[in-house]
A and B are shown apart, each in its own frame.
Chain A
Amino acid sequence: EDQVTQSPEALRLQEGESSSLNCSYTVSGLRGLFWYRQDPGKGPEFLFTLYSAGEEKEKERLKATLTKKESFLHITAPKPEDSATYLCAVQVNSGSRLTFGEGTQLTVNP
């Protein structure tokens, strides 16, 4: 069974304090690993897709990396508007469904 575990469950940072979120996964045949951002009461917003170990993608203050067992979402000099729940999901070769982790709730204080 595909498993996705995110840590920490919650993270509180000061504005400008860089950190990383972790997503570890156990799947058979990874097709892609996805990062989403979700604000309260809204649907998840697509951030990145990573397909193979060693791949990196960046968007503004966010950088996602992938190894064979885990992915990291690095947040550089975060701002209060980066506060949200960050979700990691995997898709395997056998289908289209996404299997999600429980998410990391990030709070950035000014």
Chain B
Amino acid sequence: KAGVTQTPRYLIKTRGQQVTLSCSPISGHRSVSWYQQTPGQGLQFLFEYFSETQRNKGNFPGRFSGRQFSNSRSEMNVSTLELGDSALYLCASSLTLYEQYFGPGTRLTVT
């Protein structure tokens, strides 16, 4: 069974630009969550989507947004990038409310 896939794996952007990251969950999983991982803050929850609806949201500014499609694939968007947005962005999918399985992440560098 294929795991969670994320594209692209690496990305370099300039301050002020916007970026879109993609996540394909494990087949059959309908919940997709996004997390940001940085050396200083660790892993922090961004938001969760289930059946195309945002079900939960973390404490991030409105520049961070996401969506989920009918096939459960999800995208997150960050607008007006700041240097502090440099991080590993992780997507996790789950079948139930419990175990979440993570993808390899997208490494975003903002210069």
Contact = CB atoms under 8 A, between A and B. Distances in A.
Given A96-B55, A97-B56, A87 B43 contact: yes
B90 to A, nearest CB: 5
Interface string A36-61: 10000111111001000000000000
A98 B47 CA distance: 11
B102 A98 contact: no
Q: Which of B43, B97, B105 has the largest number of chain A CB atoms within 10 A? A: B43
B103 interface: yes
Interface residues of A, number: 23
Q: Which of B45, B100, B101, B107 has the largest number of chain A CB atoms within 10 A? A: B100
B33 A97 contact: yes
A34 B56 CA distance: 19
Interface residues of B, number: 26
Interface in A59-109: 87, 89, 91, 95-103
Contacts of B4: 43
A43 B33 contact: no
Contact of A34 (B33, B90, B99): B99
A46 B101 contact: yes
Contacts of B99: 34, 46, 49
Interface in A10-44: 31-32, 34, 36, 41-44
Contacts of A32: 98
A42 B101 CA distance: 12
Contacts of B107: 41
Contact of B102 (A43, A96, A101, A102): A43
A50 to B, nearest CB: 11
A99 B58 CA distance: 10
B97 A45 contact: no
A54 B35 CA distance: 30
B39 to A, nearest CB: 10
Interface of A: 31-32, 34, 36, 41-46, 49, 87, 89, 91, 95-103
